[in-house]
Structure 1
């Protein structure tokens, strides 16, 4: 362009889009040969899906009558194809082929489950269960025997103090550990006296206390050698003539609220002292060393009884 020249002399040269207007077409304007309406532009338009980035362009279609070139043997992957995970940086598995597990016969069969290991595990579980049941049964038997022994050594709730029981019998151990006294060693008071004409007394020489059935009569035992302060059971050997009796008990000068029950446990006939020999007991508490135990006939007591022995057992037992 030179000075004074305002552009092309023809409208089509002045406006590249002149071919779009009627006057431009009338003046012979032609669309440009390039793409997208711009001169010399390259037309790269393709159908959707025809071109994929990152891959080589597919080979041109063979001419009519020619056999297309084979890209690989049957069953072999194409050289142009690769799985997405094999591209560099994809984080996929390595491209090296993995060896497949095959059986010994090479037939491609996988190895079966380890039935031998399963069998051993099952046998171990059964053995553990059997052992556990055996231990539980043995432990239950020991606990049960312990409960039975404990019940035998304790007085039952149905048994009242004074009621005779097998555990109230004197034993050599009781005589050795705690004092025992016969009637002739007791301190007598009131109308109480010694006698031996009624058979069945357990004291030395068959001696017993009689005349106890008068108010004010008493027998006193000054017992020595108590090993410790605590609970003890006092036993009294006696006989009644076929009827129940009672007496008052005092320990270290303090009267007990529970009377000494002189019941006809043997069921002897009235007046029969010979068949009426039995025993009774009371629960008491003693101090360590010397203690004073007194049985007396007080107002309201039925004291018609013979007394032959008195002894102690540690603890409250029946």
Structure 2
């Protein structure tokens, strides 16, 4: 196969700049002048702007040199190449809808409120900072309170033994209020003292016996009540495994409720020594001297031994 001056047989063999090279000039390449790319008989692919037609070109369409606007028609009038669907017979009509509140990018709408977003973000950050500060202050306060409470918590021994200051403030101290035992009581008919049964706390283990008959009385003259008011009368007693009760008379006034001397804990029947217990009843006393009487009246069950009497603030 020998080379020949046939030009560019196919478009891809064209070299638009062949006239610049020696081999191109030897093959007859010329600078383009409205024809091909420079080779003789090369494919002519240059076409004036506006002369190519696609499909059916309207007969009245005119071409114009490149860069110039065709003369026919008027500005803003529909082109013959395109017609909107709504202009055709039977075409659907369309309506423009306005976005509520105005568009974000049009002239009539308003853009995003960047200032409002910035203020909101600053408010959130400020709220978080304030919350953290309050939490830190609260934690410090709790620690301080815990440290203060540590020094004021009483020990077990302090709770079991009231201090003199607390006794004076509450008025409930057994030392401050009157106290008596069997030897200081005024005994009625048929009532006496004894000490052969162990367990009595009175001095010398002395207790009152013979109280188990109607008409028996034990009277305590209470001196030194500093303030009128309600008090609790405590009575220490022993029962032989059965319940007992008596009538309580304060300053000559019999009380509605009896003094209950029950067999708490269910101690063995007939055993006084294991039956020592304690009971109490509310009494209203006047300032100064008061009289408290424990009597065995009709309807009472009085089989009991009496040991000590004392008052606390009610």
TM-score (norm 2): 0.51
Note if contact 1:247-1:301 (Cα within 8 Å) is conserved in structure 2: yes
Which residue does the alignment assign to 2:281?
Answer: 282
How has the CA–CA distance of structure 1 residues 170 and 216 changed in structure 2, closer, same or farther, with 3 Å as cutoff? farther
Q: Distance in 2 between matches of 1:198 and 1:293?
A: 25
Q: In the TM superposition, what is the alpha-carbon distance from 1:124 to its structure 2 partner?
A: 2.4
Matches within 5 A, 1:185-196: 185-196=184-195
2:130 maps to 1:125: yes
Note if contact 1:247-1:259 (Cα within 8 Å) is conserved in structure 2: yes
Which residue does the alignment assign to 1:233?
Answer: 232
Q: Distance in 1 between matches of 2:280 and 2:307?
A: 14
RMSD between aligned residues: 3.8
How has the CA–CA distance of structure 1 residues 178 and 255 changed in structure 2, closer, same or farther, with 3 Å as cutoff? same
Q: Distance in 2 between matches of 1:222 and 1:201?
A: 21
Note if contact 1:210-1:307 (Cα within 8 Å) is conserved in structure 2: yes
Which residue does the alignment assign to 2:220?
Answer: 221
Note if contact 1:266-1:278 (Cα within 8 Å) is conserved in structure 2: no
Q: Distance in 2 between matches of 1:243 and 1:171?
A: 38
Q: Distance in 2 between matches of 1:243 and 1:115?
A: 81
Secondary structure at 1:124 match in 2:
helix
How has the CA–CA distance of structure 1 residues 123 and 203 changed in structure 2, closer, same or farther, with 3 Å as cutoff? same
Q: Deviations over 1:109-141 (max 9, x none)?
A: x99948995575133232255368769989xx9
For structure 2, list consecutive stretches of 5 or more residues without a partner in the other structure. Answer: 1-113, 147-159, 168-172
How has the CA–CA distance of structure 1 residues 180 and 278 changed in structure 2, closer, same or farther, with 3 Å as cutoff? same
Which residue does the alignment assign to 1:271?
Answer: 270
Which residue does the alignment assign to 1:83?
Answer: none
Matches within 5 A, 1:52-71: none
Secondary structure at 1:178 match in 2:
coil
Q: Distance in 2 between matches of 1:208 and 1:170?
A: 28
Secondary structure at 2:221 match in 1:
strand
For structure 1, list consecutive stretches of 5 or more residues without a partner in the other structure. Answer: 1-109, 142-166
Q: Distance in 2 between matches of 1:114 and 1:170?
A: 63
Q: Distance in 2 between matches of 1:115 and 1:192?
A: 92
Q: Distance in 2 between matches of 1:281 and 1:259?
A: 11
Q: Distance in 1 between matches of 2:163 and 2:283?
A: 20
- Count of residue correspondences: 182
Matches within 5 A, 1:65-214: 113=118, 120-127=125-132, 130=135, 174-214=173-213
How has the CA–CA distance of structure 1 residues 207 and 121 changed in structure 2, closer, same or farther, with 3 Å as cutoff? same
How has the CA–CA distance of structure 1 residues 256 and 127 changed in structure 2, closer, same or farther, with 3 Å as cutoff? same
Q: In the TM superposition, what is the alpha-carbon distance from 1:252 to its structure 2 partner?
A: 0.3
How has the CA–CA distance of structure 1 residues 255 and 135 changed in structure 2, closer, same or farther, with 3 Å as cutoff? farther
Q: Distance in 2 between matches of 1:296 and 1:224?
A: 20
Secondary structure at 1:127 match in 2:
helix
Q: Distance in 1 between matches of 2:283 and 2:194?
A: 28
Q: In the TM superposition, what is the alpha-carbon distance from 1:276 to its structure 2 partner?
A: 0.3
Q: Deviations over 1:214-242 (max 9, x none)?
A: 11111000101001110000000000000
